[in-house]
Amino acid sequence: QSQAQAPSQPASAEKKITLGFSQVGAESGWRTANTKSIQESAAAASIDLKFSDAQQKQENQIKAIRSFIQQKVDVIAFSPVVESGWDTVLKEAKDAGIPVVLTDRAVDSKDPSLYVTFLGSDFVEEGRKAGQWLVEQYKDAKDPVNIVELQGTTGSAPAIDRKAGFEEVIASNPNLKIIASQTGDFTRAKGKEVMQAFLKAHKDIDVLYAHNDDMALGAIQAIESAGLKPGVDIKIISVDAVRDGMQAASEGKINFIVECNPLLGPQLMEAVQNILDKKDIPKRIVTKEGTFTSEQAKEALPTRQY
């Protein structure tokens, strides 16, 4: 019998791929699910992940990217907290020959050669979906409908785009009026605080449009403390469809949620592998997502992954 000797070298002498990832922070349920997805899929793909949390500060992301360049990682991926101000550091990565993948959020750079691909949702479309539901709900309204808006992080792609898509669609009905709009930085605490201020300043709020579930959840606390019924006295629309948001929707406190899928890890690892294998990859990879009414949220909740 001629059995081969066990090799003294590990089966694969190939070096592990290293991926430097700079995350925005841990500001929301969406972000937590996104981080988990990236960490788990890196492990599953045997990719060595260098993960860095920027605590919602651009300067920390720039530092992290520079340190990834110094460490000569194979690929850099990051979710840019804001859209502007990345050209210099992206140029540094390019000069070092390290490919960059934008994950979740886009940059406003005029030079598309500074990154290989942008993987994430279409936030303008999400804003439109939110607006379409509202237009349909109030199609017979004869009186003005007063809307307050909780925006995401100032200057971030999802805040800019969700606002734009929503405004574009509600413009079809002049009764639909945004009477106040302010940032809640995508967090529950800020969502609550700003909603409190809105309630103080305006006695006649009909609708809240929150750019994410966490801000809507904070706002719900403020609305309840003011003795009003969320989802009834004030209709609520939000974006993300994370578990706590879906729970509130199933209880009728959020009326409509536009889904934004945080599970980008598998597609990111695939993109990283394809880049290193020198395969052609599209410049834009869009994630698939839907919407939920309260009824639909109740149905979907038991099998939800995030």
In the complex, least distance from residue 45 CB atom to ligand GYE, rounded to whole angstroms: 23
Least distance in angstroms from the C-beta of 214 to ligand GYE: 6
74 or 240: CB nearest ligand GYE: 240
Sign, Cα dihedral of 111, 117, 118, 122: positive
Q: Which is nearer to ligand GYE, 138 or 163 (CB)?
A: 163
Minimum distance from CB of 294 to ligand GYE (Å)?
20
Token duo for residue 58: 């651009």
Q: Which is nearer to ligand GYE, 138 or 292 (CB)?
A: 292
Least separation in angstroms between CB 306 and ligand GYE = 11
Q: Specify the 3-state DSSP secondary structure of 141.
A: coil
Work out the burial of residue 189: count CB atoms within 10 Å of its CB; fewer than 13 is exposed, 13-18 middle, 19 or more buried.
middle
Closest CB to ligand GYE among residues 152, 230: 152
| Residue 164 backbone zone (phi > 0: left; psi -120 to 50: alpha; other: beta) | alpha
Distances 271 to 26, 77, 89, 103, 265 between C-alpha atoms, Å: 24, 10, 21, 11, 10
CA-derived radius of gyration, the chain = 22
Helix or strand run (H / E) with residue 223: helix 213-225
Cβ proximity to ligand GYE: between 61 and 212 the closer is 212
Closest approach of ligand GYE to the CB of residue 155, in Å: 12
Q: Convert 6-19 to b/e letters by CB count within 10 Å (16 or more is b).
A: eeeeeeeeeeebbb
Q: What is the smallest separation between the CB atom of 104 and ligand GYE, expressed in angstroms?
A: 5
Q: Tell me how far, at minimum, the Cβ of 123 lies from ligand GYE, in Å.
A: 7
Residues of this chain that bind ligand GYE (CB under 6 A): 27-28, 30-31, 104-105, 158, 186, 212, 214, 239-240, 260
- Going from the C-alpha of 16 to that of each of 19, 74, 96, the distances in angstroms are 10, 10, 19
CB of 82 to ligand GYE, least distance (A): 11
Amino acid at 194: V
277-299: string of b/e by CB count within 10 Å (b at 16+)?
eeeebeeebebebebbebebbbe
Q: Which residues contact 154 (CB under 8 A, 6 or more apart)?
A: 82, 183, 185
Q: Which is nearer to ligand GYE, 28 or 294 (CB)?
A: 28
